[in-house]
Structures are given as C-alpha cells and as structure tokens.
Structure 1
Amino acid sequence: MPSSLSQLREMTTVVADTGDIHAIRALKPYDCTTNPSLILKALQMPAFEDMVAREVAAGKKAGKTPLEIADALTVGVGVELAQLVPGRVSTEVDARLSFDTEASLAKARALVAAYEDRGVGRDKIFIKLASTWEGIRAAEILQDEGTDCNLTLLFSMAQAAACADAGVALISPFVGRITDWYKAKEGRDFGPEEDPGVLSVREIYDYYKSNGIETIVMGASFRNIGQVKALAGCDRLTISPTLLEELDAETATLDKVLTPEKATGMARITVDEADFRWRMNADAMATEKLSEGIRNFDADHQKLLKGIEEKLAAA
C-alpha cells in the first residue's frame, strides 16, 4: 500500500512548511514558504553559509542597513527555494507593517522587484501578509497589480470572508494554534473530529466552495498527522518536514474528507471594516492568536537583524 503521504498527494497539493533545502529536496513539495522564523534558521544552515557571507559582505560594502541585508537574504533564500519546487515560494512582509497598508504595499513591491532583479518572476512567488484588515487591503491592491498574495495568521471566518471579498489568491488558516488555545482554555485534548482547529478550516473550506470562491484554502500549523489527515482533500496543506516524514512512513488507508461536492450551501457574507473589527473583537481566540503571531514573527525578525549586525561587525 502506498504511504499516507503518497495518498495525500493524490487529493491535496502538499506544501513544505520549511526553508530547509535538504528537506525540500527529499520531500519534493509543490510549494514552500519563508517567514522570519525560517529565515533565522536558514542563517544557521551550512547550505546557506556562502549566501549569507556574500550578502553580508555586499551589504557592508554598499553601506546597507541590517534591515536591507535581511530583505536581500530573504529574497536570496527564496530564489534558491524557487529552483527546487515546481510551484511557488511564499515570502513574508515585515510583521511590524501589519497595521499599515501603504507600508506593506511598499515592502511587497520592493520584494517583487528584488525577485525580478534575480530572475524570478512574480508567477513563482506569493507575497505573504498577516490577515489584519490593513494586510487584507494591501493584498487587494497587490492582486489588482498582478501579484498573488498568501494571507497568513488566519484564525476566523471574519478573516476568511474578508480575504474572499478582496480576491486574494490563497489563505493559510491555522489549525494547531487554534487547538493550542482551546486546549489551554478547556484543559483537555481533542480528537481530530472535534478538534477546533480542524473544524475551523473545514468551515472555511465549506464557505468557499459553497460560494464558488476561487481563493485557495491552505491549512497550516499542524501539531500531529491526525489533524492533517482530518483535512485530506483541502486545496493545499502546508506541513512541517517532521510530519511529512511521519506521513511518508505510514501506510494506513487515507480517506478524502473534503471535496467541493460536499459543500453545504453556506450563505455568502460581505464584511466591511466595522463588521470585521467587531467580529474579531467578539472572537477572543482569533484576536489573541493573531496578535501573538505578529509579535512572534517580529521577535524572530529582530533576532535575524541582530544576527546580521553581529556578522557585519565580524566581516
């Protein structure tokens, strides 16, 4: 019998939640992703040692700031990854800009231009933005300009509905972080069929398919393969190398859980800014996890900048 991973690939596009070149080569995902946490890890990887040294040396010679060098490194890693996957590389906009539409647009456009300067067109990347109201508005404009966006840190139907209204290319609703919140709140574990994170993505998938919304639903942030298998059939799933390896080692029969044909006919809703902010305010989990996610991405971004400062000093 084929592995669970092989079966999953027959019904879902599998994306690697990593910037590890060796893992991507071995696991052969369709897409891959970057974020400050993954770029920080890449800074320590032997595979990127020459690139890091080259970018730091070039940046120092040109008088670039650590932030400018961090952006160059992010794009450099993305270019390497783009050569390894048939699909796209998601590249994240600085988390500190999550509440500033114009600044997010400027950063996104600069990233797209930097990729193009290195021979990678926008058809090979997603610009990754946090699912704040301002991030969604930036994505709407970028989509109109021909730049596809991946809206991340998505925890609620309000965010999903607003992303659909904005016509974004892809959303990344999180599973594990939702589960973590409810586990802490209720003091218990959840099986896959009652898992709040799994149920959230199923509802969003149902809403999108019920209304013919073309935005790709990509489940993210998994804690175990039970959560992954409970979303088999989702448009895409972004999975860590550890869980991909676990799925590859398992040979149990995998059932397709999600299909457009199973959509229940959920009514379409339109979310304006006031409604969005009210719905988020009413959802303690979504509000807390979104804020926490932005803070954590920024914390890793600050560590990345510090690491670059140290390398500049030593260069």
Structure 2
Amino acid sequence: MPSMLEQLKRHSTVVADTGDIEAIKRFQPADATTNPSIILKALQSGHYSEQLAAALNWARENATPAEIVNTACDRLTVLMGLEILKQVPGKVSTEVPASLSFDTCATVESGSNLFAQYRELGISAERILIKVAATWEGIQAARVLESKGIHCNLTLVFNQAQARACAEAGVYLISPFVGRILDWHVKAAGHNNFNAENDPGVLSVRDIYRYFKQHSYPTVVMAASFRNIGEVLALSGCDRLTISPALLEQLAQQEAQVNAVMADDHPRLPRPSVLTEEQFRWALNQDAMTTEKLAEGIRQFHADHLKLAALVTQALH
C-alpha cells in the first residue's frame, strides 16, 4: 500500500512548511512556504551561509548604510526562496516584514520589491507568492498587489471574516491556521478533549472551504499550522495543505487508507454584499480567539525578524 503521504497527494496539493532543502528533497512537495521563524531556524541550523554572504554583498552595493541590514534581510529571503524553487515544481511564499502589517502602502512597496527581485533573478511571476498578514490593511495591500499581477498568500487567517475579505479582494491564496486555533481553545477550555472531528481549527477550515466553493470564489484554501496528522487527514481534499517536516515524516512512514474528506460538491449560492471595513473590524472585535491569535502571530513573526536582523548585523561586522 502507498504511504499515507502519497495517498494524501492524490487528494490535496501538499506544500512543505519549511526552508530545509533536504526535507524538501525527501518529501517532494509541490510548493513550499517560508516565514521569518522558518528562515531564522534554517540560519541557526547552519544552512544558507552562502546566501547570507551574497545578500550582504548585494545590500552593500544597493543600500545606504542605514538600510543595509533590512535590505540584506529581504535579499536573503529571496535567495533562500530561489534555492527552494530549485527543488519544487510550483511556488514559494515569501513574507513581507510583520512590522508592516498595519501599513497598506508600505506592504505594497515591500511586496513589489520582493517580487521584482525574484523576477530580476529569472523567476516567473506564477511561481512567486508574497505573504502578508490578514489584517484589514494587509488585505487591502494584497488587493493592490493582485491588481499588479503579484499573487499573494494571506497568512494568519483565523476566522471567516478574514477569509471572506481576502476572497472579496481577489487574493490568490489564504492560509487558515488550524493548530493555533486549537491551542487557543485548549487553553480556554482547560482540557484537550478534542479529536479530528470536533477540532475547532479543522472545523474553521471546513467552513471557509465550503463558503468559498458555495460562492464560487477562486481563492485557494491552504490549511496551515497543524499540530498532528489527525488534523491533516481530517482536511484531506482541501485545495492545499502546508505541512511541517515532522508531520510529513509521520505520513511518509505510515500505511493506512486515506480518503478525501472534503470535496467541491456544495450547491452554488449568490455572493453577499462585500464586507465593509467597519463590518470586518467588528467581526474581529467580537472574536476573542482571532483577535488574540492574529496579534500574537504578528508579534512572533516580528520578534523572529528582529532576531534575523541581529544575525545579519553580526555577519555584517
């Protein structure tokens, strides 16, 4: 019998949530996603030293002294993405700094710059995804980027209001977070009596997927942030699943029947009126989990970006 991973690939596009080239070679995903935490981990593990040196040299030639570190960080993420693209047939996601999550214009500028660097290095537009936090400002930035032919991955999606606003903005792909939703509910409930069928993260993704299909939104649903393979298998059939190397390993080592749980077989419905900014912000205000996890995720990514900048600064000197 084929491994669970091989069977899963028949139902969903499998994406590697890692910057580890060896893991990507082993599991052969279609795409890969990165974020500041993944990039920091890869550097701390001793990978991408050549890319770090190249990024610093490029920044010295293309940035003012005050901007060398930030420019080198951006270049490094692109050069790491370039290495990943040598191993996957599809796309790589590269994230704009989390500190820009509430600045639409700065996010557009950063995303356009990252995209331009990939294009200058010979990467075709359809292989690039610019990753942006799903704040109101981030979603509006993604709307502008998409209008310029720059496809976006909206990350840190925790509820349907975020997902809906992304679809209405014409975003290419969203990353609803499964495990972080579960984390919040485990803490709030004071127990972990959840299984794959009542896991609030799994149910959230299923609701978003159903809503998108019912209303004929082309936005891709890529479930992310898994805590166990039970969550992964409960979302088999979702458009895409981005999975960590540890869980990919478990799926590759096990043999059991994997069936598609989700399917695009929902009746079509007319689209509702577009969410206003006020409606979006109220929906987030009324959802404690989303409010807390979105803010926490942005803080975590920013903290890791600062650690990355510190490593780059150390290498610079």
Q: Shorter-chain-normalised TM-score: which range?
A: over 0.9
Q: 2:162: which partner in 1?
A: 159
Q: 1:304: which partner in 2?
A: 308
CA contact (8 A) 2:216 2:268 kept: no
Instruction: For residue 126 of structure 1, give the secondary structure of its aligned residue in structure 2.
Output: strand
1:196 lines up with 2:200 in the alignment: yes
- Residues 34-45 of structure 1: matches in 2 within 5 Å? 34-45=34-45
Q: 1:106: which partner in 2?
A: 109
1:147 lines up with 2:150 in the alignment: yes
Q: Distance between the aligned counterparts of 1:259 and 1:155, measured in 2?
A: 21
1:257 lines up with 2:261 in the alignment: yes
Instruction: For residue 44 of structure 2, give the secondary structure of its aligned residue in structure 1.
Output: coil
Residue 40 of structure 1 aligns with an amino acid whose one-letter code is L
Q: Distance between the aligned counterparts of 1:103 and 1:112, measured in 2?
A: 14
Instruction: For residue 150 of structure 2, give the secondary structure of its aligned residue in structure 1.
Output: coil
Q: Distance between the aligned counterparts of 1:188 and 1:45, measured in 2?
A: 34
Q: Distance between the aligned counterparts of 1:289 and 1:53, measured in 2?
A: 35
Shift in Å at residue 123 of structure 1? 1.4
- Residues 232-247 of structure 1: matches in 2 within 5 Å? 232-247=236-251
1:228 lines up with 2:228 in the alignment: no
Shift in Å at residue 312 of structure 1? 1.0
Residue 170 of structure 1 aligns with an amino acid whose one-letter code is L
Q: Distance between the aligned counterparts of 1:112 and 1:88, measured in 2?
A: 13
Shift in Å at residue 53 of structure 1? 2.3
Residue 227 of structure 1 aligns with an amino acid whose one-letter code is E
CA contact (8 A) 1:17 1:240 kept: yes
Instruction: For residue 260 of structure 2, give the secondary structure of its aligned residue in structure 1.
Output: coil
CA contact (8 A) 1:136 1:166 kept: yes
The partner residue of 1:126 within 125, 129, 133 is 129
Please report the TM-score for the alignment, with normalisation by the length of structure 2: 0.95
Residue 141 of structure 1 aligns with an amino acid whose one-letter code is V
Q: 1:15: which partner in 2?
A: 15
CA contact (8 A) 1:60 1:312 kept: no
Shift in Å at residue 44 of structure 1? 2.8
CA contact (8 A) 1:158 1:280 kept: yes
Q: Distance between the aligned counterparts of 1:160 and 1:47, measured in 2?
A: 34
Shift in Å at residue 224 of structure 1? 0.1
1:287 lines up with 2:305 in the alignment: no
The partner residue of 2:94 within 61, 71, 91 is 91
Shift in Å at residue 116 of structure 1? 1.2
Q: Distance between the aligned counterparts of 1:204 and 1:61, measured in 2?
A: 45
Please report the TM-score for the alignment, with normalisation by the length of structure 1: 0.96
Residue 29 of structure 1 aligns with an amino acid whose one-letter code is P
CA contact (8 A) 1:129 1:149 kept: yes
Residue 253 of structure 2 aligns with an amino acid whose one-letter code is A
CA contact (8 A) 1:222 1:239 kept: yes
Q: 2:279: which partner in 1?
A: 275
The number of residues matched between the two structures is 312
Instruction: For residue 65 of structure 1, give the secondary structure of its aligned residue in structure 2.
Output: helix
1:127-179 Cα offsets, whole Å, 9 max, x none, are: 10000001100111111111111000000000011011101100000000000
Q: Distance between the aligned counterparts of 2:59 and 2:150, measured in 1?
A: 27
Instruction: For residue 247 of structure 2, give the secondary structure of its aligned residue in structure 1.
Output: helix
Note the residue ranges of structure 1 that are not aligned, 5 or more in a row.
none
Note the residue ranges of structure 2 that are not aligned, 5 or more in a row.
none
The partner residue of 2:212 within 187, 208, 214 is 208
Report % sequence identity.
52
Does the C-alpha gap of structure 1 residues 180 and 267 become closer, same or farther in structure 2, counting only changes over 3 Å?
farther
Q: 1:218: which partner in 2?
A: 222
CA contact (8 A) 1:12 1:234 kept: yes
Q: Distance between the aligned counterparts of 2:186 and 2:261, measured in 1?
A: 24
